[in-house]
Structure 1
Amino acid sequence: MIRKRKTSNIEGLSGRRTSAIVTLFRFPLIWMLVGALGIVLTNVIFSRLSEDTNALGDVLLALIGSAAAIVIYWLTMRFLARRLVPELLLQRRAVKEVIFGAVVGLIFIIVSTALIVLFGGYSFEWADVNTSSVVWPVIATQLVAAFIEELIFRGLAFQAIEKMGGSWIALTLTSLFFGAAHLGNPGATAWGALSIVIEAGVLLGAAFLWRRNVWFIVSLHFLWNTIEGLLGIPVSGHPSSGLFTVEVTGPALLTGGNFGLEGSIIPVIISLLIAIPMLISARRKGHLLSPRQDS
């Protein structure tokens, strides 16, 4: 009888420990951090592997690395957060969302750049470069950046914060965090960070609330950065060897200065004109969640 009682006590303690561990990892901030760490480590590994590859090899590794990041995100959501992952549905909808996001991103950057050119801020001249040596590295770099940043900020962080504080708190905090994350970039200023908060944080957060889909926001993000890089404009302060040489004239508020297009007031205004209708539509669709409401 004494042995049975001891065994029962041990099993009870083990059960409580297991339950405590499960409860810990189901807490939103914990699974957010674990998932983000896994995605970042994956990115570091594949970045090291791509150091000695050619241009096409970079693209291939970018695709594999992005797929690995998606798998880590899915595993985090299914086994730590214990939720379904409808935002990653791999069906016809995913293809449509990728195309739709690409169109929105393309229109966004074309209109923004055209207006700056119209106001005399940019002029472009075709650069005498090997096209493939420019295009493939830009695609590889921006593909990884789009997947990594969106899976972490809009996928993990947004939904973790949303579960605790609701959609508006999640939109506000992830936008601020996204802007702060760019403060260390070359040419970054307080205005540059604020512009990122609005034209990237708010816009992409609104896009996620509207579509509730990762493919749309990744595609939008990717097209913006890729076209910007191919035009030869610095991407959030990072210089890009594009297909054109860019002559920048006029005030930094118009051109973005050394920080690039993201530092211009033009895309900030346009992003708000896009984001506000997205948020209105998201509210009408019932996509805005209150605290502790399951997403």
Structure 2
Amino acid sequence: MKNKVSFWLFPIVWMIAGTIGIILIDTLFRQLTERLEGVVPLIFTLVMGILAMLVYKLTLTYLARRSTPEISRRHAGIETVLGVLTGAIFITASAFIIIALGGYSFQWAGSGNTGFVLISTIETALGAAIVEELIFRGLLFQAIDQLGGKALALAVTSLFFGAAHLGNAGATLWSAFAIVLEAGVLLGAAFLWRRNLWFTIGLHFAWNAMEGLLGISVSGHSAAGLFTVKVNGAALLTGGEFGLEGSIVPVVFSLLISIPMLIGTARNQRIDGGNPRHFES
């Protein structure tokens, strides 16, 4: 019995077990919702999110043998809202800069399916945000943190996050590297700074939802948004077929956000006296 407990306590083991459980739930609900229309897929996605968080909590509670303050309901609402606002401002500002530089021009799509576009965009963005944040910032980050510290965890999760997008349409080595910096580092820094997953889920959700609503490809995935976007100029400015994430603009902008977050994290650690239970809230 002792050997079995030791086996499940090993960070890579509980990380893989939790990841498999979350992916299985996500896959099952994707199959259930692919033929459904209207608000039902969004409701199913919310149910999927609850079950995925339950798997996450059970994994860390019974396999990793640790508490889960990072998904505590305390301040969950305000942290999610702050994350949504951060993500919305980040994407909107990046898009406006590219517009000002002549890279994008937008036109109202004029579709009669505005409600469908809103619901489907929210459903897709929400599902991706919950699943990816639970896996990357929740399981993988904290497993690597336990093995080698937070700096290594930030580096490894950022690299894996970039590599995970290499198979997307229009992806290049540059776009993967851009994802490493603008998404991997930013979301990892946000997790360290806010000490919870609600903020990163909100940020990730707003990021994808704003791109989708603007009609910009989301990491290579085309979006039937409220606008049609005309792309002009070099891919380094516009992101090309990969979308906004392949542009140099959000890369620079994200670093301008991430650095203060990491400075704030270091300051919090000094105030806490180097307490290893960093994610307690």
Q: TM-score range by the shorter chain?
A: over 0.9
Give me the identity figure in percent: 53
Tell me how far 1:103 sits from its aligned partner.
Answer: 1.1
Contact 1:209 1:287 in 2 (8 A): no
Structure index of larger Rg: 1
Task: Find 1:163's aligned residue among 132, 142, 146.
Answer: 146
Equivalent AA in structure 2 for residue 33 of structure 1: I
Taking a change above 3 Å as real, the CA distance of residues 32 and 287 of structure 1, as seen in their structure-2 partners, is farther
- Deviation above 4 Å: which 4+ runs of structure 1? none
In structure 2, runs of 5+ residues without a counterpart are none
Equivalent AA in structure 2 for residue 121 of structure 1: G
Task: Find 1:28's aligned residue among 4, 8, 11.
Answer: 11
**Which residue pairs with 2:268 in the alignment?**
285
Equivalent AA in structure 2 for residue 96 of structure 1: I
**Which residue pairs with 1:81 in the alignment?**
64
Pairing of 1:91-130 with structure 2 (within 5 A): 91=74, 93-129=75-111, 130=113
Task: Find 2:120's aligned residue among 116, 126, 137.
Answer: 137
Q: 3-state SS of the aligned residue for 1:247?
A: strand
C-alpha distance in structure 2 between counterparts of 1:54 and 1:266, whole Å = 36
Pairing of 1:201-212 with structure 2 (within 5 A): 201-212=184-195
Equivalent pairs, count: 274
Equivalent AA in structure 1 for residue 134 of structure 2: L
C-alpha distance in structure 1 between counterparts of 2:109 and 2:165, whole Å = 28
C-alpha distance in structure 2 between counterparts of 1:166 and 1:219, whole Å = 25
C-alpha distance in structure 1 between counterparts of 2:13 and 2:29, whole Å = 25
Q: 3-state SS of the aligned residue for 1:186?
A: coil
C-alpha distance in structure 1 between counterparts of 2:146 and 2:105, whole Å = 46
C-alpha distance in structure 2 between counterparts of 1:241 and 1:51, whole Å = 16
Alignment pair present for 1:63 and 2:46? yes
TM-score for both structures, normalised by structure 1:
0.91
C-alpha distance in structure 1 between counterparts of 2:270 and 2:236, whole Å = 35
Contact 1:209 1:288 in 2 (8 A): no
C-alpha distance in structure 2 between counterparts of 1:272 and 1:238, whole Å = 24
